[in-house]
């Protein structure tokens, strides 16, 4: 049974990596969909590498100030006619989303390979 443990460990590790990349992708899409929302703050997440995988940290707001837009007719404009827009940079979010998607795919390939190894091992044991 100890021969199976490294295979299951690889599957666990890949699974935690897929969860982490899924969270990154979800946050990037939330940020992109709210890029034009006045006052919206970009969401970020922390991760920590653990033995056998990735531990999800906390989700927090980016404290960087958003862009100012002069629009006295806007309902959220201050007394000077300035509206504080979001701090989302669409290029950064698109790059983060693409990187998260590729990271997810890489972990999925590791998981699939480990599953094929596990299935092969079970086939050998059934003989």
112-116 mean pLDDT: 94
pLDDT category of residue 1 using cuts at 50, 70 and 90: very low
Percentage of the chain beyond pLDDT 70 is 97
Between 126 and 87, name the one with better pLDDT. 87
The span from the CA of 27 to the CA of 34, in Å, is 11
Helical H runs in the chain? Answer: 5-33, 90-126
44-50 mean pLDDT: 94
Structure-block tokens of residue 115: 């599953």
Above 90 in pLDDT, residue 99?
A: yes
Q: Would you state the pLDDT for residue 4?
A: 56
Query: In 3D, which of 107, 121, 115 has the Cα closest to residue 53?
Result: 107
The span from the CA of 35 to the CA of 49, in Å, is 30
Global confidence as pTM: 0.86
92-118 mean pLDDT: 96
**DSSP-assigned letter for residue 127:** -
Extents of the domains making up the chain = 5-36+43-56+89-126
Instruction: Kindly report, residue by residue over 55-87, the tens digit of the pLDDT.
Output: 999 999 999 999 999 999 999 999 999 999 999
Range scoring the smallest mean pLDDT among 6-10, 39-43, 111-115: 6-10
Above 80 in pLDDT, residue 124?
A: yes
The span from the CA of 6 to the CA of 14, in Å, is 12
Cβ(101)–Cβ(25) below 8 Å = yes
């Amino acid at each position: 049974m100890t021969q199976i443990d490294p295979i299951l460990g690889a599957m666990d590790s890949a699974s935690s990596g897929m969860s982490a990349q899924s969270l990154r992708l979800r946050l990037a899409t939330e940020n992109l969909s709210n890029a034009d929302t006045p006052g919206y703050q970009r969401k970020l997440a922390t991760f920590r590498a653990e033995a056998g995988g990735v531990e999800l940290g906390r989700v927090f707001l980016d404290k960087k100030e958003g862009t100012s837009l002069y629009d006295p007719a806007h309902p959220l404009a201050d007394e000077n006619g300035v509206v504080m827009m979001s701090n989302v940079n669409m290029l950064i979010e698109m790059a983060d989303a693409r990187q998260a998607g590729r990271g997810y795919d890489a972990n999925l390939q590791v998981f699939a390979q480990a599953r094929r190894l596990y299935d092969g091992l079970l086939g050998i044991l059934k003989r």
